[in-house]
Structure 1
Amino acid sequence: MTEPSDQIEARHAAKMAKKKAARDRMMETKTGEKGLIIVHTGPGKGKSSSGFGMIMRCIAHKMPCAVVQFIKGAWDTGERTLLTTHFADLCQFHAMGEGFTWETQDRARDIAMAEAGWQKAQDLIRDPEIRMVLLDEINIALRYGYLDAAQVVDFLLTEKPPMTHVVLTGRSAPDALIEAADLVTEMGQVKHPFRAGIKAQAGVEY
């Protein structure tokens, strides 16, 4: 026998009311605010995309922000064009990298570029007017030893202004950074078109 629709609706409404009450009680205990250390890592796609999504949210709220790109600086990316063309008044954009290490094939130059990027990042993070700094692909620089992970973590924990958010993206985030972070997301990979012979495409990868 089919249950009457009004009984289904009543049961659903009661279930949702119970959930809302529980949610409201939980939210009453969440009153603090702080600048977060946010890490996007893992083998899956979407780490930089998520970081740039947060930058766009800051811009929408008129919050000054900044981007430092550690690896993809030589790429002509859509996000770089959009931010520098339309939102330069709210978002500083510093492309410091020259490509992945297998492209440059010059470790000393890669290290110098990473160090220059980190110096710029520190200056931006120290500025209390800037509410969010995205360090795009910095985890790659840490992975290859271009930057000292312990020094990066120590700076974030001791010198970052209390209300500044810092987002760090890239595969293989070091354990020390994950431990220090307030929010860590690991992107998993289920399928990727690259494995089927599809190259990186505008609007999807860059």
Structure 2
Amino acid sequence: MGPQRGMPSVERVAACRRRLAQDGPQWTRGPADDAERVSVPARDGDALRDLLIAEGAGSVVEIGLAYGSSALAIGEALVSGGVPGPAHVIVDPYQGTVWADVGWRLLRSAGLDAFAMLLREPSSQALPRLVAAGRTADAAFVDGSHRFHEVFVDLYFLRTIVRPGGVVVLDDHRWPAVATAARYYETNLGWRVVPDALAGGTVDAAGRPRMRALRLPDPPVEPAFDAFRPFG
């Protein structure tokens, strides 16, 4: 299936991803290795892309844009999947300040602004607005704040936005604050690790993968108020 009218081709998006991986971004906020430290590596982007295609995802919410590496991978998946009317909502309050719009300009150069929307506000404000508007998504990618309470709040709203049976992928899951926030939803709300998802992604010296994919239950789980299970 060819690209929809006004949509970028898979080749165009993939070429932008390759250039970013090979040459780095056109601008960085400081040290020469900042993009390498901050960005999702190309092999993890490939794993994310392949998971979204396998899921048949046509709509994705992404928390955190920065240099745009994960957003390009998500965009490639949405263009490749052939789902009519794809949608990509990106939340990044710092894109125009800390990141000087470098990630958003890159997405525009790939033509992904045909269906991508950037919300320049904190996720704690943007996500409840999406809920109030009745916005839904097939999947989400979380790579914003790595503070426990902020990751927890992101997941709280995403459990309403992401459809039952959809997936939420967390970057830097090996960070204790990120893993602990996710563990509440696994322990108390029925979220489950997606077996064999993100194969080929990077792992650290201890063998822990960088990213983790969790599937939301279908139907959703709403436990009784006295059914709390410790998760720390």
| TM-score bin (small chain) | 0.3 to 0.5
Counting helix residues as a fraction of each chain, which structure ranks higher? 1
Larger Rg: 1
Relative contact order, higher structure (CA 8 A, sep 6+): 1
Q: TM-score, normalised by structure 2?
A: 0.39
Q: TM-score, normalised by structure 1?
A: 0.43
